[in-house]
Amino acid sequence: MQRNTSVSQELFDAAIAVRKRAYVPYSGFRVGAALRASDGQVFVGCNVENVAYPEGCCAEAGAISSMVAGGQLNISEIVVVADSDPVVSPCGGCRQKLAEFGGPDMIIYLADLSGVQAKWRLADILPATFGKEHLRSGE
């Protein structure tokens, strides 16, 4: 993990803006995510809670769903923003979702409200990834 790294202002601002729209009546913990698809488009997502906690949706998953709905399938970078010290990182499920659409060198920026505080490669936070290559087609 690297500290005090930078991400484009556009991506950071998009994550900050969507974070404000998070639906968090139970925890009050707002998270925003903005990703850049390989074609340069930016897609955003925020966490959405549900009274049945396992049925909520993480910000990263929302951004990925938005990207897929927009016709893109490859992530080049993502920023995740929360008002937290230390900064939050994607949960295990979101790490696997990121692996589905990003390669091992995809960059994940972790930020608080003041800016990016950490930068990781996907391979560093999800080593030995389970991927499509593990599945056998036709069996």
Closest CA to 119 of 8, 10, 25, 19: 8
Sheet hosting strand 31-37, strand order edge to edge: 2-3, 115-121, 107-112, 75-82, 31-37, 42-46
| Cα 54 from chain centroid (whole Å) | 18
- Decide if 49 is catalytic: no
Please give the span between the terminal C-alpha atoms of the chain, in angstroms, as a whole number: 40
Selecting among 10, 55, 60, 100, the annotated active-site residue is 60
CA pair distance 42, 64, nearest whole angstrom? 10
**Which residues are designated catalytic?**
60
